[in-house]
Amino acid sequence: MGKLDGKVAFITGAGRGQGRSHAVGFAREGADIIAVDTTAKVESVPYALADADDLAETARLVEATGRRIVARDADVRDYAALAAAVSDGVNAFGRLDIVVANAGISSPAPTLEMSEDTWQDMIDINLTGVWKTLKSAVPHVIDGGRGGAVVITSSLAAVHSNENTAHYSASKAGLVALMKVLAKELAPHSIRVNTVHPSTVATPMILNDATYRLFRPDLENPTRADFEEAARTLNRLPVAAVEPEDITDTVLHLVSDAARYVTGTTQMVDAGGAL
């Protein structure tokens, strides 16, 4: 018996990183998966985004657990594409119980020097994209009449500031307010809503040259080892970055019946970084 037997989960940003980890982890616990990621380019993002092969690999890994998956190319900025992907999944599996709004980007830049596009892309994807995800998916959970769970991926950056992340921190802090309002609105439907707040996570969004320079502006060409030296100073526990599976463990708890009375909360997985 798995923790999510018979349930269906919709996960954005599922091509790799935390999203892939959530999809595979949920499948191992008995859930069928509706997964989206996008091949659309975002010029303000200074690292390679997921591609079609990444999402195909997520689908392969989910199917290897014995569960089913509907995987679609959909940009969270495109409400129609999200709605179509969710509808395809619900038509295939007959229900929706869990929504994990996970997709996001990072594009470090000084607050007063970043371009308008850099600011707007961040808000469009990390904040408005989450709202579009919820708008497209949560009505299916309501229609099921069985209750359910929503988890939104925020960040330690929502509560702990660092230079060159104003747009990122603003988007992630906005998600907390969105979560709290939605938790109240959905409580009569027995749908719980929470945010999860990771510290640095060892995914391609973090493990890239732009992030290394953000953490080590004192070096011309910082390496991952240089980044990790600085990152360790942010966390109280002796770790530079947590693994995607560490976040999945918390998200899995939040969407499972073990957290049936947990709603409206900000769940930190930050190695003590907010202390």
Active-site residue list? 168
* Beta strands per DSSP E along 69-135: 69-73, 98-101
> What does the alpha-carbon distance between residue 191 and residue 145 come to, in Å, rounded to a whole number?
10
Cβ pair 62, 22 in contact under 8 A: no
The CA-atom distances, in angstroms, between 1 and each of 29, 130, 136, 193 are: 8, 31, 30, 25
Q: Is 274 exposed, middle or buried (0-12, 13-18, 19+ CB in 10 A)?
A: middle
Rg (CA), the chain: 18
CA separation for the pair 207, 126 (Å, rounded): 19
Token couple for 198: 């990771």
Tokens of 41: 């380019």
Straight-line distance from the first to the last Cα atom of the chain, in angstroms, rounded to the nearest whole number: 37
Q: How far apart are CA 142 and CA 150, in angstroms?
A: 12
**Is residue 37 classed as helix, strand or coil in its secondary structure?**
strand
192 forms beta bridges with 149
Q: Which of 32, 135, 14, 5 is nearest to 90 (CA)?
A: 32
Neighbours of 218 (CB within 10 A): 9
Instruction: Look at residues 90, 88, 74, 78 and name the one whose alpha carbon lies nearest to residue 37.
Output: 74
